[in-house]
Structure 1
Amino acid sequence: MRIEALNQLVLEVSQKTGLNSDKVRQLIGLLTAMLFDETSGGFSGFMARLRERGLGASIQSWLGHGPNEALPSEQVERAFGPALISTIANKLDLTPAAAASAIGATLPGLVDGLSENGQEPRGIPESLRHWVGEIGEWFGELGKSGWGAATAGAAAVGGAIAGGARTLGHAADATTQAASDAIGKAGGGSGKWLPWLLLGAALIVAFLLFKGCAGHPAQTPPAETPPPAADAAVATPPPAAPAASAPAAQTVAGVAIENAAGKAVVSGRLSSDAEKAKLMDALKATFGAENVQGEVAVDAAAAPAAWLDRLIGFLPELKAAGAKLSVDGDKIAIDTSALPDDRRLALSEKLRGIFGDFEISGLWDKGISALSSLKAGFSADDLVKALNLAGIHFATGSATITRDSSETLRKAAEAIKATPEGTRIEVGGHTDNTGDAAANLRLSVARADAVKARLLELGVPEARLVAKGYGQDKPIADNATESGRAQNRRMEFSVLR
């Protein structure tokens, strides 16, 4: 990963989160240490754990050539766990919510930059090694306070890092001193090996934290065997007790609810009796105890349903007879085909507002309705009229297309592919007039490019698409009102003749 790309990533994260560049660099250093921890499978192992926690589609976008899918705070909290996020938040002097947001803003771009041409990296790039080394003291302080594991081994590693950042061998207690002595003997006290020593110890601590704090009650894991040093001239410390076997992969929690003639028919699986009781109580309160049918299984291997409260908040919308909804990990399917169009639209908009960070299939809006209603042999003008009724949504202040726009873009791609040879459609990006005009122009260009890239991924021939950003220069409503600004923030399709 080139230093220019790293500096750009720091700038982008700073703009999105408001963090200063030093804090962003510290966060990148920590995430890098975790990404390349060989004791837990290195880069591929880290990606596998995130996939197990429902982030497979997002990871694919980071590794691929298209725009990176956003990583909302809710998904960060589910993947990393509250203990790890709170620890990072305390060290960066942030709230847990702000730390989760910062991780979500950083990880997609970091993984994208590391995986050039879609290939998983084999080791830490030279440009990032000192970023990890510079937070040796950071890891040390956390290690001595019990960060990641309440074991002497973890504290010793952390203490050795802290001591090494000053002068190896000056730790505060006997355990830390022993670890420092071991490292000192291996490196001969020479400062030239210090970055490698810091890196190796940092990876151990990051591994313990990531495995021990992913949303489970705190437990005391066995000491881990340190990984080999990065250079043959540096010996590794004596091995500790064998590491525990990796926990079994969690299955995905999910439920399906159908309103059958006023009765809620439910099925699925949740991770605990408490989650099951919470859902069943909410269903009975919404539909009446006599109108709830079916059964939800309890599967201790399932991941906790972080979305359960949001689903319960949506239950009143399912009182419309014929409505069907299923949640499976971070994917939702909605079926409103039995409802009138106005009710379909209202229910879809409500679902989008609550679950905008999920991949949602079955949404209904005026654009999807119009695209689905196109007759064989439709003209290019008919197509753009339908496209301009569709809503394509982005993460605030960025060119990241939110996952709730996936259905709209699939429908749009199908329609564009059905147009005759020679048809050319412009994808135009527009903003309101909030902020700097030059920045708005750049954002509009980036968003238009992102939509074009996604349509190309969905099979639209490149010759049929042109992307262009107009910034704030072509408003269609009054920027003095919020509703007007919302109309001006849009993607506008037109036929190029």
Structure 2
Amino acid sequence: MRIDLLNSLVGDVAHRFGLSMDQARQLAGVLIALIFDEKRGGFAGFVHLFESKGLGSLVQSWIGTGPNQPISAPQVERAFGAPLIGAIAGKLDAPVPATAGAIGALLPGLINELTEGGKAPTGIPETLRYWVASIADWLGDLGRFGWGALAAGAAAVGGAVAGGVRAVGHAADTTVDAAAGVARKTGRGLAAFLPWLILLLALLAALAWFKGCQRQREAAADASVSTSAPLGAEPAATAPVAQSNARFSFENAEGKARIGGQVASEAEKTKLLDAIKATFGAGNVEGDLVVDAGTAPAGWLDRLIALLPDLKARGVKLGFDGDKIDIDTSALPEAERFALSQKLRSGFGGFEISGLWDQAMAALSSLKAGFSADDLVKALNLSAIYFDTGSASITRDSYETLRKAAEAIKAAPAGTRIEVGGHTDATGDAAANLQLSLERANAVTAKLVELGVPGEQLVGKGYGQDKPIADNASEEGKARNRRMEFTVLR
């Protein structure tokens, strides 16, 4: 197991999902415990779990020597169960979406490293035992979700090592004497015990180094500690300051821009106000922005400024709260609503947007009481559901479409069953496209079930590139072929 590569992977995941290095290391420790849970059959049982959830091809790609297939956050929840993911997120004090995404980013590389040469490991490598030990104090709390070794076996794996961490700082001869005493008590003698003693001391040294690095990072980060404190005095603990979301509200009221909100700095405030005044005229701006240093940077600022000219239609309302956006275009003619919604969706990819208005939303909203199953799928097939490139992870701007779809499906005639068919363009390997289309179809059905649709009403199926509706020779044709297609099952 190449620890340098694992450290690099953990660092990358921490950066991508907004976790601290300690949080990412703790998460890696949990995954190691899950992978080697003896009560579930160890590594072989872990592989079987994924196979039983229809994710066997993913885990086999991580074990094999070929490229690792990605696993989406919905697939992570399908494999482990949403309650366990939520409990892990709670222990890490991290958001559930970030936790699920980070697990999906860690697993392929972790399994790949554990199965070097395609060989299944027989147990936790010695070099990784301290990763489990670092979270041994709360592994047991997660055992109630059916992972027995988290409550007993896996905690015990790190227990002796964790005890070693607590012993670091005692005199070395105390450790040696205690070890020698154990050897005498068991009658094996020092010669028989020596290899284990050397291993224990090596583990203790590694753990001491690991903890020392942590202390150095913490000391370097605490720039506020006074140097005039008495020698030997404990520095005051600095509690992390929770940052509030950057917020912004906008309304075009008869050509005037009414604004409000809160940003992190004068520079952000000036930049946004100057852009609004340049677009609407200095005399047509009402309201102000509050500056609060406890506010997170506005990740939407530059994108919003680029789209200000599109907000000149009267009656448009827009609100930001962190990475969530709420829009109201109901005062506009339908064609203008469609166009503005598409621009906002394109401009704010990755944000969760409510209030989008497209042909599917219009059609689903127009369904009358007593609508037929055919009416339903006709409306559903107008919807555009987006995914991250090359994966089955549904983009957040598609959530509202799926919420509206779930409402309509739940109101469908009794006994209605619907196939959710995934389709791709012809780019790449046909077999990989078939697998991706199935995973995307399953991701959509899983999201609809999460939103309250009975699972027995839905069937996910992948068709890959075999049923194009447009020419794959053009980008426009490829975009049309990448689709979800709903069909009534008779």
Fold equivalence (TM over 0.5): yes
User: Offset at 1:190?
Assistant: 3.7
**Cα separation, 2, equivalents of 1:66 and 1:337:** 36
Query: Does residue 1:130 correspond to 2:127, yes or no?
Result: yes
Query: Does residue 1:494 correspond to 2:459, yes or no?
Result: no
User: Offset at 1:241?
Assistant: 4.0
Residue deviations 1:198-229, cap 9 Å, x none?
A: 356446646875998xxxxx873659xxxxxx
Give secondary structure in 1 for the equivalent of 2:319: strand
Matches within 5 A, 1:92-241: 107-109=102-104, 127=124, 130=127, 190-195=198-203, 197-199=205-207, 201-202=209-210, 205=213, 220=223, 241=234
Query: Does residue 1:25 correspond to 2:20, yes or no?
Result: no
User: Offset at 1:295?
Assistant: 1.3
Conservation of the 8 A alpha-carbon contact between 2:257 and 2:286: yes
Q: 1:352 to 1:259 in 2, by over 3 A?
A: same
**Cα separation, 2, equivalents of 1:185 and 1:313:** 68
**Cα separation, 2, equivalents of 1:292 and 1:412:** 38
Conservation of the 8 A alpha-carbon contact between 1:250 and 1:302: yes
1:34 matched to which residue of 2?
22
Percent identical pairs in the alignment equals 55
User: Offset at 1:298?
Assistant: 1.2
Give secondary structure in 1 for the equivalent of 2:288: strand
User: Offset at 1:28?
Assistant: 3.6
**Cα separation, 2, equivalents of 1:426 and 1:210:** 53
Give secondary structure in 2 for the equivalent of 1:470: strand
User: Offset at 1:105?
Assistant: 10
- The one-letter amino acid paired with 2:127 is H
User: Offset at 1:284?
Assistant: 0.2
Conservation of the 8 A alpha-carbon contact between 2:74 and 2:443: no
Q: 1:106 to 1:378 in 2, by over 3 A?
A: closer
Q: 1:313 to 1:127 in 2, by over 3 A?
A: farther
Residue deviations 1:25-59, cap 9 Å, x none?
A: 33344469622778xxx99xxxxxxxxxxxxxx99
**Cα separation, 2, equivalents of 1:439 and 1:470:** 11
2:262 matched to which residue of 1?
269
2:399 matched to which residue of 1?
406
Residue among 282, 288, 295 paired with 1:295 = 288
User: Offset at 1:184?
Assistant: 7.6
2:329 matched to which residue of 1?
336
Residue deviations 1:63-84, cap 9 Å, x none?
A: 6846999xxxxxxxxx9xxxxx
Residue deviations 1:327-361, cap 9 Å, x none?
A: 00110000000011111111111111111211100
Conservation of the 8 A alpha-carbon contact between 2:222 and 2:238: no
Conservation of the 8 A alpha-carbon contact between 1:270 and 1:298: yes
**Cα separation, 1, equivalents of 2:396 and 2:366:** 23
Give secondary structure in 2 for the equivalent of 1:389: coil
Conservation of the 8 A alpha-carbon contact between 1:426 and 1:468: yes
Conservation of the 8 A alpha-carbon contact between 1:66 and 1:454: no
Residue among 370, 375, 381 paired with 1:382 = 375
User: Offset at 1:130?
Assistant: 3.0
- The one-letter amino acid paired with 1:256 is S
- The one-letter amino acid paired with 1:220 is A
- The one-letter amino acid paired with 1:444 is S
**Cα separation, 2, equivalents of 1:467 and 1:27:** 36
Matches within 5 A, 1:342-361: 342-361=335-354
User: Offset at 1:315?
Assistant: 1.1
Residue deviations 1:256-276, cap 9 Å, x none?
A: 011000000001111111111
**Cα separation, 2, equivalents of 1:209 and 1:28:** 19
- The one-letter amino acid paired with 2:425 is D
Q: 1:193 to 1:25 in 2, by over 3 A?
A: same
Conservation of the 8 A alpha-carbon contact between 2:433 and 2:465: yes
Conservation of the 8 A alpha-carbon contact between 1:253 and 1:303: yes
- The one-letter amino acid paired with 2:202 is L
**Cα separation, 2, equivalents of 1:110 and 1:383:** 36
**Cα separation, 2, equivalents of 1:463 and 1:211:** 55
Q: 1:334 to 1:195 in 2, by over 3 A?
A: farther
- Structure with higher Rg: it is 2
Q: How many residues align?
A: 352
Residue deviations 1:390-440, cap 9 Å, x none?
A: 000000000000000011000000000001221000000000111111110
Residue deviations 1:368-394, cap 9 Å, x none?
A: 111111111111111111101000000
**Cα separation, 2, equivalents of 1:489 and 1:210:** 48
**Cα separation, 2, equivalents of 1:376 and 1:426:** 22
1:308 matched to which residue of 2?
301
Query: Does residue 1:467 correspond to 2:448, yes or no?
Result: no
2:241 matched to which residue of 1?
248
Q: CA RMSD in A?
A: 3.9
Conservation of the 8 A alpha-carbon contact between 2:73 and 2:393: no
**Cα separation, 2, equivalents of 1:376 and 1:463:** 23
Residue deviations 1:97-127, cap 9 Å, x none?
A: xxxxxx99971416899xxxxxxxxxxxx74
2:157 matched to which residue of 1?
none
Q: Which has the higher contact order (CA 8 A, sep 6+)?
A: 1
Gaps of 5+ in 2: 15-20, 31-71, 86-93, 109-122, 132-167, 177-196, 227-231
Residue deviations 1:160-209, cap 9 Å, x none?
A: xxxxxxxxxxxxxxxxxxxx999988977944343454356446646875
**Cα separation, 1, equivalents of 2:442 and 2:324:** 25
**Cα separation, 2, equivalents of 1:304 and 1:279:** 13
Conservation of the 8 A alpha-carbon contact between 2:299 and 2:322: no
Gaps of 5+ in 1: 1-6, 8-20, 44-57, 70-78, 80-102, 114-125, 135-179, 213-217, 224-238
**Cα separation, 2, equivalents of 1:34 and 1:183:** 28
**Cα separation, 2, equivalents of 1:321 and 1:306:** 26
**Cα separation, 2, equivalents of 1:362 and 1:181:** 59
Conservation of the 8 A alpha-carbon contact between 2:73 and 2:101: no
